Structure 1
């Protein structure tokens, strides 16, 4: 034993015991997370097979760490005395989501239950990357401060319109970004771990968490600065070999068409992005582009209606190719497309019905996303808190270290 102490190593038996304690804690916590109502200590013992003393110790640890709370009494469907229920805490760790949109910046904080506790949006003109990230950091600090009395923000996730690798935005033509380190500046300014991911991927996760799609396989299409797709197959987000899947906006719908900022020609982006639909006349500084488009469409502006028809047709062509490959029959229109769905959804559906091989006997469902333009920032915040939902021991270790 003395040799172990001198070397700073624990005996193998102690390591195994500590690992078992962590596994048991995560098992109990997972049952609380997935329960559709407050769950009692007795029910946890029955569900996990752990002894009552072990359940009591784990529950006390989770209560002390502000991961769970005791709720009103709960009944397990059997005769007898009601028992105290346990449920996720709304006053413990929280996740921060950030989003760069076509018309501004957004920040969101969610608690451990997935409830949105803070959601803010600020219009922002197009600017260089350092300015955008500085403005975003200011928004993030304000969002964190707004919930600080009850919540501790532990992680942040940024949604960007382009492929990302190790926190670096490889290419975001709509932003004019190439090889921009987005994670580093935010991490330095916020003092938090920061993850950067494609906004369509995060929006698809947000919709899945929110229970939007009834199908476990679906394509989420995000329209805005750029056009991207989050692909979910059997409940799992499909990222591709390098995490760069879903760049639907740069699928060519007209090989000899208009040049695209990405360097190719005829990309969907050049026919269906917000800037293309908006046309040469820019939106006023205090009005979002999609609001301008909606106002023009509602008043029957011919150029706007024609642009929406071209956008819907091009989007239907691109999605048809994707659906023929993936064999998915549910499409969610998100981002600005959710706001413009009244004008484009029937056009997109008509194209897919003509072009998707299986459409005649396996109808395709297409509808606006539940979370609308906020899907990416909410999905980012939920992703930030998911690590603690999956591995609560990391949070508990931080709490213990903070009180040592």
Structure 2
């Protein structure tokens, strides 16, 4: 006897209201302009979206009136015919503010809708969490004022931190900073409004994705300071994990009999590839440890050169395990590692060629990350503006 099949309608199977349809079409059209490598014409938008030309004209008029796009012609469709007016993103209007806290440095960055950096500032990091957050608040206010002077409105703020974050606000564990259960978002809110807090390695990968797209879609970006993180990008999308706590490459064990780590485990990558393990002696860390390491290596210091080789080998071991699972074709050495890439690449590649299963016919490319040490703060700023890039309706409602 055949049993009847009962089909359940999807939860999203609801009527589409006219205003929802308009908002959807506007977002669809705007994303075509965001993703275009050159100014795009109205006719090209109609072809790309499947919308009628009158609908495209109305949407373009709304985007022009809202200050999100400008006419930047001419754009030409095909090889003949009269040039058509091109449309591209405006360099004024909404902007994103990114903040970053590193071992020795605080930074603030503003990017406009095109992704261009309009403000970038640095300051030494105070020792305590309260002092560091107060300094970040002051830098954020100064960045907002600088943005306003260039006819930009900061629509969102994101803080990058070296550790796992809960609820987009609470830094659960950042051993390199000595932070545990610090509600950084709440501390910054009175001065800057709502602030999203996120992991620095993930934000650095996001920044590198923006800088490299569409050429690079599957990669791991290793951000090296004293806390080592990895941002994972698959199919052009940032991989965050179930709770957004992924990418703690520094706490992957490379030697089960190794020294104890602040995380509670032993033999973590941190203790073999962190900058503190590469610099010789017990002297206080210089303001720019990666620069100091590069100077010593360039001078032929045998202790530093040996430490760099050990660090690269340890990185290669940890990355091999990761790549065998997720299958990416590119490793970007970011953060301070970008400044030391020439000393690390050979030893990283040596381990990858030995340990990655597919290396015999599909070698993994290892190279410096284009944005380098500033990738996390730029990624934070891009993350803050991304809501407008994905859905411009919220901006148009307030314009």
Return the TM-score normalized by structure 1.
0.90
Residues 226 and 270, structure 2, Cα contact 8 Å, conserved in 1: no
Q: 1:183 aligns with which of 155, 163, 185?
A: 185
Deviation (angstroms), 1:147: 2.1
Aligned residue number for residue 258 of structure 2 = 257
1:140 lines up with 2:149 in the alignment: no
Counterpart Cα distance in 1 of 2:117 and 2:137: 19
Equivalent-residue separation in structure 1 for 2:192 and 2:382 (angstroms): 18
Q: Which residue of 2 aligns with 1:364?
A: 364
CA change 1:106–1:304 in 2 (3 A) is: same
1:119 aligns with 2:125: no
Give the paired residue count. Answer: 383
- Which residue of 2 is the match for residue 96 of structure 1? 97
In structure 1, the partner of 2:3 is none
- Identify the residue that residue 395 of structure 1 maps to in structure 2: 395
* Residues 70 and 103 (structure 1), Cα distance of their counterparts in 2 relative to 1, 3 Å cut: same
- Structure 2 Cα separation of the partners of residues 62 and 214 of structure 1: 28
Mapped contact 2:109–2:118 kept (Cα < 8 A):
yes
After alignment, is 46-55 or 304-313 more displaced? 46-55
Distance 1:94 1:246, change over 3 A: same
Report if aligned partners of 2:230, 2:249 keep a CA contact under 8 Å in 1: yes
Counterpart CA distance in 2 for 1:235 and 1:173 is 30
User: Which residue of the partner structure matches residue 249 of structure 2?
Assistant: 248
Query: Is the contact made by 2:98 and 2:158 (CA closer than 8 Å) also made in structure 1?
Result: yes
What is the match of residue 326 of structure 1? 326
Structure-2 residue corresponding to 1:6? none
Alignment of 1:300-311 (within 5 A): 300-311=300-311
- Give distance in 2, aligned partners of 1:47 and 1:302: 58
Of the structure 1 ranges 115-124 and 205-214, higher mean CA displacement relative to structure 2 is found in 205-214
Q: Are 1:283 and 1:292, in contact at CA under 8 Å, matched by a contact in 2?
A: no
Shift of 1:215: 4.3
Question: CA offset at residue 32 of structure 1?
Answer: 1.7
| Inter-partner Cα distance in structure 2 for 1:57 and 1:356 | 53
Task: Give, in angstroms, the shift of residue 43 of structure 1.
Answer: 3.3
Deviations 1:111-138 (A, max 9, x none): 111111112222324x111111111111
**Pair 1:377-2:399 in alignment:** no
SS at 2:316 equivalent: helix
Residue 58 of structure 1 deviates from its aligned partner by: 2.0
- The alpha-carbon distance between structure 1 residues 41 and 222, as it changes in their structure 2 partners (threshold 3 A), is same
- Equivalent residue, structure 1, for 2:5: none
Distance 2:33 2:164 in 1: 35
**1:142-189 Cα shifts (integer Å, max 9, x gaps):** 222222132111101111111111111111111111111111111221
TM-score (norm 2): 0.91
Partner of 2:273: 272
SS at structure 2 position matched to 1:83: coil
C-alpha distance after superposition, 1:244-289 (max 9, x if no partner): 11111001111121121212211111111112222412234xx411
Q: Structure 2 matches for 1:162-181, cutoff 5 A?
A: 162-166=163-167, 167-181=169-183
Q: Cα deviations across residues 202-228 of structure 1 (Å, max 9, x unaligned)?
A: 111111111178442211111013001
Aligned to 2:236: 235
1:84-123 deviation digits (Å, cap 9, x = unpaired): 2211110110111111123201111111111111122223
| Counterpart check, 1:87 vs 2:92 | no
Pick closer, same or farther for the CA change 1:35–1:258 going to 2, 3 Å. Answer: same
Q: CA deviation at 1:346?
A: 0.6
Pairwise CA distance, 1:56: 3.0
Aligned twin of 1:3? none
Give the SS at the match of 1:325.
helix
Q: Where do 5+ consecutive residues of structure 2 fail to align?
A: 1-13
Tell me how far apart the structure 1 counterparts of residues 36 and 345 of structure 2 sit (CA, whole Å).
37
- Look up the match of 2:297: 297
The structure-2 alpha-carbon separation of the partners of 1:48 and 1:218, relative to structure 1 and needing over 3 Å to count, comes to closer
Query: Within 2, Cα distance between the matches of 1:282 and 1:90?
Result: 43
Check the 8 A contact 1:89/1:112 in 2, yes or no: yes
Higher mean displacement: 53-62 or 227-236: 53-62
Of stretches 51-60 and 326-335 in structure 1, the one that deviates more from structure 2 is 51-60
Structure-2 separation of matches of 1:333 and 1:375: 11
How far apart, CA to CA, are the structure 1 residues paired with 2:341 and 2:198? 25
Structure 1 residues 299 and 46, CA gap change in structure 2 (3 angstroms): closer
